[in-house]
Structure 1
């Protein structure tokens, strides 16, 4: 039997139709991939099956129309069974393709495996379909291989494009899918016609009758094309409708998720309540806020959880909740008791739920504002209490007094107002620093509580070191009660305070005003108690005093003095007196102390004991002290130039001046301006300035390095430890005149003076005694080894010119001018 090779021809229209089918099938495939990727469960399986059928039929139709487009010189029949088999293969390959691209991720390995399966399926469909032609066919190997390769490349491109463009919300999605469909369709068509080119058809010489299906190729091509396009069109319409429904369903689900996420993750507790009052929903925050187990909430009546509302808020909360049934949004605050027993403050909003114009239920939204309430309480407490001591402050104290006035306007009971100021507080605060000053105030507060224990009284801190007390009692007993409390306050205040490894002592001055005798208004009572307190300070401190009318005159005098003192320097009213310091054994002049006086234009000479406390309280003391130092140095420089008087001048430092950070620099500046050598300036400090050892040592060392002499004034009257003397660069101790005054009559004073002199000499310090007025005092001091003397026995303090005339001239003439030896 001899075979003859046959050559066929193509129907151009059917070729074009096959290409159109391929593009349409590819586009449909891309859309189907998006639906598969967006569904899950049964819907996914359904779309996979329907999509595979649609896609498979589209690919097979393109293949079959492409075969029908090819015409041979002889009629060709088709094996129906093999045709159906090729359809099944196309559908199976499509199922694999859709399954692969419908995954969430597409890795390279998955892409290659899926593409290989799809290429195998397409190739198998094509060549199985070719076998359906009842004619002898052989294949040219090279073209056959190229067709397989095209199938693989086409499969890779198809799967990747389908996966990439499956998202429906991509910008220009339709255009991109259409362009991709053209590429995929062209690749599939290319594979088909390359496969057709590989086929070689043979005709047998002898006539062989083969049973098969004989078709009108052109007509059948049009029919299949129309059917396929209809099928693909219906698929696209189905996809479109499903998209719309899915989009709407997705939108609903998305909104529901948003709502559910807001509901579940809201920090505020939310209860969903039906019109019948049943709890039909709740979020985790509601469980956290109330402490009630979630199972308890299910289908419970809202009334069942009412007992957790604090009793005083229940009626009000119920009334406000019922108002929301009228369709109004109601906001209010309430409080509940948590299951652990703690109190929880809530800010509640009752929101009616409207559906088609009808109220179907309510949301009860509760925010935990316990922390905010505590913060409000703290702020309110801070507004009316002192932060350092926790005592009521001035604002709260005024409220207490105003309320007391209203309460006792016509009553047998009354009250008193006490104002207490701590003596020596500023000195301790400046010396040790504010931290220790604050600690002292806290200790005083504790002691004041002890003092009023057992009495109806309220303590407050007005600021700084000023405290106030309101004491309540009957009109007959208020004065003795106030006196008893004041005495106890003074006693408690005088006990030692252990600060910075040392014991310190203070006292207090207390002024008392009684309602209504001493005032009928809060401000008047405070002013009068304050006036009485200043009278105590004026008379030596450490006591209490009731207000009386004549004290107003004293207070007015003090105010006037402060006003005049501020102008005293500019008006040249301050003057300096000088008192000689004499060597105890040869009576030579070894130094001069500068002492400040105030020559008031109306009152005359005012004692330092009167205006110095005013200067310290008003803050003028630093300016005045610097003025005194400058004037004293100028005068000594003048005496050196005119009298050749080379002895030191002593100047007292104030506490505030000593604790300036730049004291040494200021002293040096004054010395340079005046032209006085540092060794001719002696600075007198007091024991009270030495409380902060580190700070004091540093300051004194700077002064010592400058060349200035340092002496300790009023020695024996302070509370510092004597052990600290060896730590300071002090050259001289000045025995206070309180020990000298009764020296000849008091054995105790004699012992104290002798001890101080002996101790000072052992520490290699000189000793000077001030306030020496009698020969007996001088004799004892000489006998005890005292180095220098200062007092009225030799000379009272005198102005510079008078000192020159009365004392300096005589000393110069007698050769009684010496030099300090320390």
Structure 2
């Protein structure tokens, strides 16, 4: 089913042009409203009626910024896209204001419209719609509590590889949990439950301790200094607790702090003073930072330079099928140019096909991660994979 979209603009001609573009891009469930008050009433009657709303900033009676403020008060959780032909400084300010709310700002469509920009926004609309209607079989709170109590947390590991030089740039820790009677459960089925019931901190602490212990042994055995990455949520940066958890785990495991990288998911905005302060504190203490799922959330290329990052990871949705999609190639190339200029490592996630890999290598991507390289594995299986890969890599380097 196609995502449902509402266009709110007092200019019927602008709405007509935008609607036609969206139809060309594969959307067929599009509503148009030239009255922001009427649009608010429609959304209030059914908060799930529209997966995304395009909103013009400059409208008589109720401007777009105020409409978005009221959408936030209604707890609207679809995507929001700004429409505007105003000065870029005004648009930037509006974006920054919206990012202080709980709204999902997907981007801005400036007038006159660019088909390539709209295509990118449509991909984001489809992405958040899939996230809003997951097929995951969520575990129950009681099951998660029992798994945490019994420490049934199982770290899985997946490498980031530079194929040109046959080197391992890093390893990401991805969690699984064991649930009695259900077997091993993937993150999509328990992370939302952990967040909802305030159990994420406990889960993260257990995962962190086990992962650092595993990786200390792995790095010593195989003489590697490739960083270990662990995912954190932006809201963990709102307090000092994260720093204390990391200090405690590093002290107990004797893990080299310079080998730790934290991957920050991009599905929530980074905007509070506390978040930015704690990001800087992490970097000051020698911990590396990676922006995960870039292209699927809130951060744009212009904002990357203001975050104390070491790495940017392009979301799998922007990678899968890149060999057949010129727009994805443009997005990847522009991201590579910016990250290269800023001295950041650029990783493509979700690499599954050799054709996509060839295009990504041509575009100058630093490293690759995905099922086409290596599936996530528990530590014993990952070590066996690494031994085979390392022998083959050494042989390849020797031949060259």
TM value normalised by structure 2: 0.67
Structure 2 residue matching 1:727: 3-state secondary structure = coil
C-alpha distance in 1 between matches for 2:303 and 2:257: 25
Q: Which residue of 2 aligns with 1:541?
A: 132
Give the C-alpha shift of residue 613 in structure 1.
0.8
Q: Give the equivalent residue in structure 1 for 2:311.
A: 732
Q: Which has the higher helix share?
A: 1
Q: CA deviation at 1:674?
A: 0.8
Partner of residue 216, structure 2: 637
Alignment partner of 2:143 out of 564, 569, 579: 564
Aligned equivalent of 1:810, options 377, 388, 400: 388
Asked whether 1:577 is paired with 2:156, we answer: yes
C-alpha offsets along residues 325-356 of structure 1, whole Å, 9 cap, x if unaligned?
A: xxxxxxxxxxxxxxxxxxxxxxxxxxxxxxxx
Q: Quick one: distance in 2 between partners of 1:642 and 1:628?
A: 21
Structure 1 residues 542 and 808: alpha-carbon distance in aligned structure 2, compared to 1, 3 A threshold:
closer
Q: Structure 1 residues 627 and 745, CA, compared in 2 at 3 Å: closer, same or farther?
A: same
Change (3 A) 1:717 1:539: closer
Tell me which residue corresponds to 1:748: 327
- 1:657 paired with 2:236, answer yes
- The Cα RMSD (Å) is 3.5
Verify the 8 A CA contact 1:734 1:768 in the aligned structure 2: yes
Alignment of 1:339-350 (within 5 A): none
How far apart are the structure 1 equivalents of 2:334 and 2:355?
A: 18
Give distance in 2, aligned partners of 1:440 and 1:615: 32
Match of 1:494 in 2: 80
SS at 1:719 equivalent: coil
Q: CA deviation at 1:672?
A: 1.3
Q: CA deviation at 1:754?
A: 1.0
Deviation at residue 561 of structure 1 after TM alignment: 1.7
Aligned counterparts, 1:406-555, within 5 A: 443-444=70-71, 465=75, 494=80, 498=94, 500-501=96-97, 506=103, 540-541=131-132
Matches of 2:343 and 2:150, distance apart in 1: 44
Is 1:670 aligned to residue 249 of structure 2?
A: yes
CA distance in 2, matches of 1:681, 1:812: 22
Are residues 1:767 and 2:346 paired?
yes
CA distance in 1, matches of 2:77, 2:214: 45
Q: How far is 1:495 from its partner? A: 5.1
Q: Find the residue that maps to 1:773 and give its secondary structure.
A: coil
**Cα offsets for 1:138-190 (capped at 9, x unmatched):** xxxxxxxxxxxxxxxxxxxxxxxxxxxxxxxxxxxxxxxxxxxxxxxxxxxxx
Give the corresponding residue for 1:97: none
- For residues 302 and 97 of structure 2, the distance between their equivalents in structure 1, rounded to whole angstroms, comes to 13
**C-alpha contact 1:625 1:657 (8 A) present in aligned 2:** no
CA contact (8 A) 1:651 1:682 kept: yes
* Residues 785/693 of structure 1: CA separation in 2 closer, same or farther (3 Å cut): farther
Three-state SS of the structure 1 residue aligned to 2:334 is helix
Aligned counterparts of 1:728 and 1:759: Cα–Cα separation in 2: 13
| Deviation sequence 1:570-611 (CA, Å, 0-9, x none) | 223321111111113112222111001122222222221121
1:184-212 deviations in whole A, cap 9, x for unaligned?
A: xxxxxxxxxxxxxxxxxxxxxxxxxxxxx
Structure 1 or 2, whichever has the larger Rg, is: 1
Give the C-alpha shift of residue 445 in structure 1. 6.6
Equivalences for 1:256-405 in 2 at 5 Å? none
Q: 2:362 aligns with which of 763, 783, 795?
A: 783
SS of residue matched to 1:794: coil
Query: 1:812: Cα distance to partner?
Result: 4.0
Structure 1 gap segments, 5+ residues each: 1-416, 424-438, 449-464, 466-488, 509-536, 544-553, 818-822
- What whole-Å deviation, never above 9, does each CA across 1:250-297 have from its counterpart, x for those lacking one? xxxxxxxxxxxxxxxxxxxxxxxxxxxxxxxxxxxxxxxxxxxxxxxx
Aligned equivalents of 1:502 and 1:764: distance in 2? 29
**SS of 2:132's equivalent?**
coil
1:586 is aligned to: 165
**Aligned with 1:744: secondary structure?**
helix
The match for 1:709 is 288
Offset at residue 697 of structure 1 (A): 2.8
Q: Which residue of 1 aligns with 2:9?
A: none
Matched, 1:800 2:379: yes
Alignment check: 8 A CA contact 2:336 2:346 kept: yes
SS in structure 2 of the partner of residue 582 of structure 1: strand
**Is the Cα contact below 8 Å between 1:507 and 1:541 reproduced in 2?**
no
Aligned to 2:270: 691
Is contact 1:733–1:767 with CA below 8 Å preserved after alignment?
yes
Structure 1 residue 565: deviation in Å? 0.3
Distance change (3 Å), C-alpha of 1:445 and 1:643: closer
Aligned to 1:602: 181
For 1:665 and 1:726, the matched residues in 2 are separated by: 27
